[in-house]
Amino acid sequence: MKKIIVLFMCIALLAASMTLLAACDKQEPEPAETPAVSDAAEETGEAIVGGWENDKSPVITEEFRQVFEKAAEKLDGVDYTPVAYLSRQVVAGTNHRVLCKAVTVVPGAVPTYAIMTVYEDLTGNAEITDVVRSSVTAAENLELAGGWNEPESPEVTEQAKAALTKASETLTGAEYTPIALLASQVVAGMNYRMLCESKATVPGAQAEYVIVTVYADLQGNAEITDVIAFNADADAQAEAAPAEEDVSTDVSEAANDGE
């Protein structure tokens, strides 16, 4: 009798299990969890919405030049000329970050470098939202003996990269990544002026733009002779910047002294 009861209980349990399995098969499978935007971007290396993305080339495109001209058409008092395209940020439209020559419209004013942010909305309108100047005098393409000369393209040359790499071998405390070549100067060797990203070699350090001058001598040695950051105080300094001839003479003498 007990064997029969146990047998019936086993049959009942088996039937219940089969019914439960059948019910589960009829349910829709739950969709896989969609990764957050930041997670997906981290895995693929793509820029995330809200983040700044460095451009592959600093060359100013005709498309961006039109955006820039539209943003700058209402400016008064200072003329800006785009020199190198730096990065973009996707918002409700696009923020563009660009290096410019800035010159106050007064007699005797000399151009200096400035980093400008241009906002372009979804309907094609554009406006300048931020300008941070430096006290560094912008080079002119004058081909003067001993003077700073502006390159035809802001692309960093292999020679300039090599000079910065050599000069950075004994550098501590910061790392410099070249972004754009601004000017070169023939001395007893060569001076290179570059826009770089500077980042302190400490955890959590934020990168910033700086203008770095590198001197490479005729024996293959190189050293960083000047580093200047962009800041609000530079606006006043820029108005009192010396003429380009004075700056080039000072740098030439410093380079020659370092031989």
* Model pLDDT for residues 45-67, shown as the tens digit of each residue: 333 345 889 888 999 999 999 99
* Amino acid 30: pLDDT: 43
Task: Indicate whether 230 belongs to any domain.
Answer: yes
- The residues, any chain, with a CB within 8 Å of residue 95's CB and separated by 6 or more, are 52, 88, 89, 117, 118, 119, 120, 129
How many domains does the structure of the chain reveal? Answer: 2
- Verify that 124 and 81 share a domain, yes or no: yes
Exposure on the CB side of residue 80, measured as CA atoms within 13 A? 26
Q: Could you give the residue ranges of the DSSP H alpha helices within the chain?
A: 2-26, 37-44, 62-72, 158-167, 234-239, 244-257
Query: Coil, strand, or helix at residue 85?
Result: strand
What tens digit of pLDDT does each residue of 196-248 get? 999 988 888 888 999 999 999 999 999 999 999 997 555 544 444 444 433 33
- Verify that 218 and 186 share a domain, yes or no: yes
Task: Indicate whether 226 belongs to any domain.
Answer: yes
For residue 100, what pLDDT band results from cuts at 50, 70 and 90? very high
Which of 137, 166, 189 is the last residue before a domain boundary? Answer: 137
Could you tell me if 115 and 97 are in contact, meaning their C-beta atoms sit under 8 angstroms apart? yes
Task: Indicate whether 237 belongs to any domain.
Answer: yes
* Amino acid 55: pLDDT: 87
CB atoms closer than 10 angstroms to residue 181: 22
Rounded CA-CA distance 100/84 in Å is 7
Tell me the CATH number at 213: 3.10.450
Task: Indicate whether 227 belongs to any domain.
Answer: yes
Task: Indicate whether 128 belongs to any domain.
Answer: yes
Residue-averaged pLDDT of the chain: 77
- Verify that 123 and 172 share a domain, yes or no: no
More confident residue, 27 or 42: 27
Range of the domain at 63: 52-137
- Verify that 167 and 242 share a domain, yes or no: yes
Rounded CA-CA distance 69/198 in Å is 29
Could you tell me if 238 and 102 are in contact, meaning their C-beta atoms sit under 8 angstroms apart? yes
* Amino acid 126: pLDDT: 96
Tell me: pLDDT of 258 over 90.
Answer: no
